[in-house]
Structure 1
Amino acid sequence: MSQIVSATLVVVFAVVFRGAVKQRPVLFYVLAALVAAVGMYFTFNPSPGGMVRALAYAIQKGHPGFSMLALVMFVGVFDRKSVVRRALGPVRGELSIIGAILMLAHAVPYLANYLAMAGAVFSLKPSVQMSLALAVVLLFLLGVLAVTSIKALSVRMDARTWKRIQRLVYPFFLLVFVHLLGYMLVPLRAGATDLLVGFGFYVVIFAAYLVLRTRRFILDRRVGLPEYGAASAMISTSKEATQ
């Protein structure tokens, strides 16, 4: 249920504050960092209960960050002249950076635990070794995609190079799904029915994106439109307008 609530709030945030995010992105990056810091704090200092615990749990698990990145991905499946694309397309880069910052609340504590086990990595279970390797790859891809979404950097990059880098979002999104399956399937098989809603949410999100993105690709090819990647693409209004 936390995933659904987070996704709803993220969509509302993006729609309401899209203009402010475009005008003052650094302010929202700082706010996202503060939210991530709160999540990390309560990871090591758990709240006894109530609303604070529920909020901290959502941040720790990366629900707001994932929802933000998923929203950025889904904006790309809409027609370039659609209301959704016109409203959120110009701010996709900024939203992707916010999403990446929010994901730090999930990535940093887990990575810290993995690094603590680095000295004994070869004695760990194969499943733990795979989780460690996957975490490192995901963090690297997320960092690359986020950095190349920064307008000051992207406008100085060769268009073809930028386009190739942005396409890393596809293996990133796929590996996120593998990561989610890895940690949810085992408890589900053991009878943890409380995870069913969350598991169903992720399956629907990834399946819907696969279908809609494929459809968008086919339609764009039919009319000869270029394809600029999915997650952090459309980092500026001018680039969005040329597609």
Structure 2
Amino acid sequence: MEFLGVLAISTIAAFVLRRPIKAAPWAFYGLAVLLVTALFAGGAGLLGTAWKPLILLLQRCMLPLALFTVVMYIGVFPKDSRVGRWLRPIRAELSIIACILALGHMCLYISPYLSRALAGAMEAPMAASFAISIVLFALLLVLGVTSFDAVKRHMPASLWKNVQRFAYLFFGLIYAHLLFMIAPAALHGGKQAALSVVIYSMVFVGYAVARVARWQIDAAREGAAHAESPVGDFEDDAPAMA
């Protein structure tokens, strides 16, 4: 399946480019904007066939979904693990890049789907998926903006953490959105759609299980630390998005 290939390449790229991303994040934000611009230009017939790879990566949302998956699973690893040490410092930057790319995908589809919704030409699963996408759009804006350091510095720490915890809802709604989009085809015997349901379920359900396990392990460690010291020396785990 294409998603697994894009996910593998995105994961490798995150490791390889972690230092450049941290040193010059705005260069990567600019690249994301350029890719979105190319997507719209290609859709308008301005780039010939050169934009075809963007259909898979952006129009079908494979690349932003892969980056969000990387961001999700970073939180599963201990902070002192190699993955934690290498990728946690760029978690916010990866989130922002994914948000920019996902906004391109959303803006491409929101107008035609809104027209169909207003005309009452949507079947129930697609209507549910569209309703979820509206909520995702709002959450994406909030989480993306608050992932910027300049915004984070002007927010109380407790408020920022509470806002960023909406990332868990965001990830859950992505899974629901995907299921509403592809489950009908899978139920009608579509093998590729059925395989997609299995793969996405493994990714998101696997994340939920691993994240709860990480929370339990960290809570046990923090409890042990408090038992040894009334003050304790463990900070709260970083929220899911940044």
Query: What's the TM-score bracket when you normalise by the shorter of the two chains?
Result: 0.7 to 0.9
Number of aligned positions between the proteins: 230
Which of 196, 199, 216 in structure 2 is aligned with 1:198? 196
Larger Rg: 2
Do the aligned partners of 2:39 and 2:51 also contact (CA within 8 Å) in 1?
no
1:142 and 2:140 are equivalent in the alignment: yes
Shift of 1:13: 1.2
Equivalent in the alignment of 1:241:
none
Distance (Å, rounded) in 2 between the aligned partners of 1:124 and 1:199: 21
TM-score for the superposition, normalised by structure 1: 0.86
Shift in CA distance, 192/54, structure 1 to aligned 2, threshold 3 Å: farther
Equivalent in the alignment of 1:175:
173
Which of 224, 227, 235 in structure 1 is aligned with 2:237? 227
Equivalent in the alignment of 1:104:
103
Shift in CA distance, 151/174, structure 1 to aligned 2, threshold 3 Å: same
Shift in CA distance, 46/204, structure 1 to aligned 2, threshold 3 Å: farther
Counterpart residue type for residue 144 of structure 2? A
Shift of 1:48: 8.8
Equivalent in the alignment of 2:71:
72
Counterpart residue type for residue 145 of structure 1? L
Say which SS state the counterpart of residue 147 (structure 2) adopts. coil
Distance (Å, rounded) in 2 between the aligned partners of 1:46 and 1:213: 44
Shift of 1:188: 1.1
TM-score for the superposition, normalised by structure 2: 0.86
Q: Which runs of 5+ in 1 are unaligned?
A: 233-243
Q: Which runs of 5+ in 2 are unaligned?
A: 223-233
Identity across the alignment (%): 31
Deviates more, 1:102-111 or 1:34-43: 34-43
Distance (Å, rounded) in 2 between the aligned partners of 1:173 and 1:46: 34
Shift in CA distance, 167/15, structure 1 to aligned 2, threshold 3 Å: same
Say which SS state the counterpart of residue 241 (structure 2) adopts. coil
Deviation by residue 1:121-176 (Cα, 9 ceiling, x = unmatched): 5x754444433321110011011111000001101210100010011011111111
Q: With CA pairs under 8 Å and 6+ residues apart, which has the higher RCO, 1 or 2?
A: 1
Shift in CA distance, 52/43, structure 1 to aligned 2, threshold 3 Å: closer
Say which SS state the counterpart of residue 223 (structure 1) adopts. helix
Shift of 1:196: 3.4
Say which SS state the counterpart of residue 139 (structure 1) adopts. helix
Counterpart residue type for residue 29 of structure 1? Y
Shift of 1:43: 4.4
